[in-house]
Amino acid sequence: MNRVILDVKDILGDVGAEKSYSFERDFNPIISETTKLAFSKPVNFDIIIENTGRGVRVKGRISSAVFLECSRCLNEFEFPVEWEIDEVFVTETMPGEDVYTIDETRIDLGPPAEEAFVLAVPMKPLCHDACAGLCPVCGEPLDEHHRAHEEEKVDARMEALRQLLEDKGGESARKA
């Protein structure tokens, strides 16, 4: 898990106080059961932290780029990810409340940033909208250099019968 710890003690005692931050951090790959996101650029944080009285509100933009695999051609490509953050970190939580907390005087922007990056990735990433994918016959990319194949159209429902006829044809030739 990536950690981005900010100490907010400067604004904790003053309701309405704000502080701006602009910085970059290198992130380790995010690995889950279904996803592996490797970052191609550092994560850029451009945020404002405000004391709300109950905690601190973090507003701003967090951006980077990740490497993804195209779901059609299987090539790796760089995908920009950007998140408009607007999260509240509280000092005390209510029962059943699902919020981020302040640990003494520190907040960790790593978990919400990781969650936002995972959610920003499309279910079927494409290197570009016009990606034609791979040839089902030879597996080569379907681009301007690819030549059409002479394909034998096979009806899967008749494959067993074709196989039986080939076997019978071979037996007849052996008997003669």
Residues whose CB is less than 8 angstroms from the CB of residue 139 and which lie 6 or more positions away in sequence, other chains included: none
Check pLDDT > 60 for residue 17: yes
Least confident of 15-29, 49-63, 98-112, 152-166: 152-166
Q: In angstroms, rounded to a whole number, what is the distance separating the alpha carbons of residues 115 and 130?
A: 29
What pLDDT score was predicted for residue 147?
Answer: 80
Q: In angstroms, rounded to a whole number, what is the distance separating the alpha carbons of residues 40 and 26?
A: 9
Per-residue pLDDT tens digits for 87-126: 999 887 777 777 888 888 899 999 999 989 988 889 899 9
- Quote the mean pLDDT of the chain: 86
What pLDDT score was predicted for residue 173?
Answer: 45
What pLDDT score was predicted for residue 134?
Answer: 87
Q: In angstroms, rounded to a whole number, what is the distance separating the alpha carbons of residues 135 and 39?
A: 30
Between 157 and 4, name the one with better pLDDT.
4
Q: Is the entire prediction scored with pTM above 0.85?
A: no
CA neighbor of 73 nearest in space, from 12, 124, 21, 147: 124
Asked if residue 17 lies in contact with residue 11, where contact means CB atoms within 8 angstroms, the answer is: yes
Give the SS3 label for residue 48. strand
